[in-house]
Amino acid sequence: MSEVMAALHRDHIHFSRVLNLLQESLGELRAGEDPDFDLVHDMLDYLSHYADLYHHPKEDVIYHYQLERSSAEAEHIDRLLDEHRALRQITDALRAATDGILGGTVILRQEYADQVAEFLDKQRAHLNLEEAEVFPYLEQTLATSDWAIIEERAPTRADPLFGPDLATQFEGLYRRIIGS
């Protein structure tokens, strides 16, 4: 596997762990309990800072590269590119709703829970399309020379949660994920 794809795949495993923790918070909401909203805030902060601002732009470089060279898988790739924009919007919206709750805004539990559920569905559907269809195709088709070009164009940033240096902000979230 190319180094770029291996790194993106590792990110997906990490995102899944964050999403599984968010799923637990959703379970608490559905049970009529209050989840740890500070923790939910950190999960969304991580996804918006790392997934939306780094992981997705890196994938965008690969997807645009593939679209320039061939129309194969174009339908899936166009969908993934659109989803990157949509995921950023729903992450920002859920983050705003969560920050509102933390700031004392009264919001219907059912409404917020539905928003979390939809967020989880969309994030997971996106990961699944990449892992099941598009990544295996790209891995099979692109040559080492293609990956070298992609590597040059792609942005690099260390993961603040699972990377070599854990950001102070995410220490609590990291402990929860490792312990869960």
The residues binding Fe ion (CB under 5 A) are 59, 130
User: CB-based burial of residue 98 (10 Å sphere; 0-12 exposed, 13-18 middle, 19+ buried)?
Assistant: buried
Shortest reach from residue 111's CB to Fe ion, in Å: 27
Q: What is the largest CA-CA distance in the chain?
A: 54
Closer residue to Fe ion (CB): 41 or 55: 55
138 contacts 5 by C-beta, under 8 angstroms: yes
Distance CA 19, CA 179 (A): 15
DSSP category for residue 134? I
Closer residue to Fe ion (CB): 29 or 47: 47
Closer residue to Fe ion (CB): 33 or 121: 121
Shortest reach from residue 68's CB to Fe ion, in Å: 18
Distance CA 146, CA 152 (A): 10
Shortest reach from residue 94's CB to Fe ion, in Å: 17
Shortest reach from residue 156's CB to Fe ion, in Å: 16
Shortest reach from residue 130's CB to Fe ion, in Å: 5
- Record the tokens describing residue 9, joined without a space: 């795949």
Closer residue to Fe ion (CB): 33 or 78: 78
Closer residue to Fe ion (CB): 42 or 59: 59
Which residue of this chain has its Cβ atom nearest to Fe ion in the complex?
59
Within 13 Å of residue 174, how many CA atoms lie on the same side as its CB? Answer: 13
